A and B are shown apart, each in its own frame.
Chain A
Amino acid sequence: MLVYTLKRLLLTIPTLIGVAVLLFFMLRIVPGDIVEVKLRGDGGNVTQEVVDAERKRLGLDRPLIVQFGDYMWGLARGDLGISMWTERPVIEEILIRLELSLEVAILATIFATLISIPLGTAAALFRNTWIDYVVRIITIGGLSIPSFWFGMIIMLSLLALFNWLPPITFTPIYEDPVANLSQLIWPALAVGYRYCAVTARMIRSSLLEVLAEDYIRTARAKGVYEKLVVSRHALRNALLPAITVMGLEFAFLIGGLVVTEQVFNLNGIGQLFVQSVSRNDFMLIQGMVIMIAGFYVIINLVVDLLYAVFDPRIRYGN
């Protein structure tokens, strides 16, 4: 198990390197220069020497390949470099905002899991009945409603119904759970809806497949209570694919965050990302993408491990 995990972790490295390389050069195609933004962004009329001096100071005058080597060497030592905008370590910039985004993501996941399982199961059991259709509408809705709009609508409704808006400054959950949740529960809803929908759909379809399996017929032939047939025999098999999907959906979750944080003005990773894109803060962008990619890879690893826990057919390598 441990060995396997380590092996898999090692396997993720090439992927991450690929991400880093691809990203680095993709970004360097972006026209424009952060120094210009800094010095002239607000109409300052500084002379070219000043700009050059600044670029030199930030080491942006060096040939691309040198910068690249520098960057990769940094990565190798686990150093994400310095934000070109604030000139603080990228990792610092990220960590400040990570807690919030992470919490929203987790809330969304919890929300999704809690809702999707009963939803999907009901739809499968009452297939082609009105229940199924309602669930189908709800879930496809989840795939269709833009999370940022959903967020806006939530805000609108809160305003219209209670003339109340969530607080704008972040209080960690361990300091004041109420304040914390009253701020983050809404964005979590906004991004969680899709998450929930996708999982529910997966559960439905895989449960349908499982229910058609021979061993379900066997169970019935044994005279097992219908409740048990579903809970013990069917569901356990059906949940596996759902877990995978949750892993893959993580990519969408992040996307949801990027836009939703705009709507709710959350000072999180998504917000930071949009800012750094608009400022050409390449180092920060690289740092964040690599971190997110890392998350993604890890999560899918965890999913595989979970698989092993649920499915005896899958053995831990020795």
Chain B
Amino acid sequence: MADNTQVMSANSIVLPRRPNPVMHFVREQPMGAASFVVIALMMFAGLFPQYVAPYDPLSINFAAILAAPSWDHWLGTDAFGRDILSRIIYGSRTALVIGFASSLLGSSIGAVLGIASAYFGGRIDTWIQRFVDILLAFPIIVLALVVVAALRKTVIYGVDVNLIIAIAIPIIPRVARVVRAAALSVNVMPYIDAARAAGYSDTRIIFRHMAPNVVAPFLIMFTAFIAQAILLEASLSFLGLGVTEPTAAWGLMLSGNAADFFREAPWMIIFPGVAISLAVFAFNLFGDSLRDYLDPRFKT
């Protein structure tokens, strides 16, 4: 035996250094990297709006009602003379908080359901799948609307919790589906059999062996659904069922009688919409690149 090892050591393959994942991602997915920069900017604006925003987003100024974009109001003002740029900047906080929170909540629950469903199979699987089917049969916004209406509004640190839940619920079944599929394919992997053969506990197998291998689809879903959540929040606020005035929120800026002003003050409509689209676009693009990066099938 000893001598074999000698032979092997003589020319054991030299590996290329393990590449730094971040740099690697940037190199492989420039668009993804770019979109991440946008997201980062949004995050900064959302975290420290007071340093970025030129005005207080709430203070009414009847002197400057519906002012057109100008040097002192870059994106103009709304019907209450509030600076639209500042409201958009503060709005990014609302969007991000709700987007992240609800996507995280929904995706996590979905992931747990999905993995459990795949790993235990049998009756548990059937029940979970039934439940998922039922949730899926609800049109997304409809479900959200009903939940918003049903749950009493509870605000914690200025964040509307029931809105988050409402948006999270439609996410659950969709994530559960995907993760279940992924987990099923992992479940038949020999290394899982090996773990079973070694007699490890279910929890250990699930968390140590399965979970890490469904992280990729989870991450992808997670980012994608941040985008969807932001969009959904905008829609709900637009319908007047999401965030309420005078909070700065993008969907809200388009809602109510904003549309009535679109002749004399189109900027009131255009800029918030652009903000939503840009943010959602960034997250989608990032999620997309993430998938291309993580999913071998898309590798060249």
Contact = CB atoms under 8 A, between A and B. Distances in A.
Most A CB atoms within 10 A — which of B133, B241, B262?
Answer: B133
Contacts of B149: 27, 30, 277, 280
Interface in B233-265: 234-235, 238-239, 241, 251, 254, 259, 262-263
B142 interface: yes
A110 interface: no
Contacts of A205: 298
Interface residues of B, number: 47
Q: Is the interface of A mostly helix, strand, loop or mixed?
A: helix
Interface of A: 14-16, 18-19, 22-23, 26-27, 29-31, 128, 133, 136, 140-141, 143-146, 148-149, 152-153, 155-156, 159, 205, 208-209, 248, 251-252, 254-255, 258-259, 262-263, 273-274, 277, 280, 285, 288-289, 292-293, 296-297
Interface string B59-103: 000000000000000000000000000000000000000000000
B231 interface: yes
The 6 closest A-B pairs by CB, nearest first: A255-B141, A149-B273, A254-B139, A18-B134, A293-B137, A144-B281
Contact of B137 (A148, A288, A297): A297
Contacts of A19: 134, 137-138
B139 A146 contact: no
A276 B17 CA distance: 62
A146 B273 contact: yes
Given A26-B147, A255-B235, A144 B138 contact: no
Nearest to B278: A144
Contacts of B300: 128
Contacts of A148: 235, 238, 254
Nearest to A248: B136
Looking at B139, B152, B239, the one whose CB has the most chain A CB atoms below 10 A away is B139
Contacts of A128: 300
A149 B281 contact: no
16 contacts: A27-B146, A29-B150, A144-B231, A144-B278, A144-B280, A146-B273, A148-B254, A149-B234, A156-B266, A208-B298, A251-B138, A255-B140, A273-B145, A277-B146, A277-B149, A285-B146
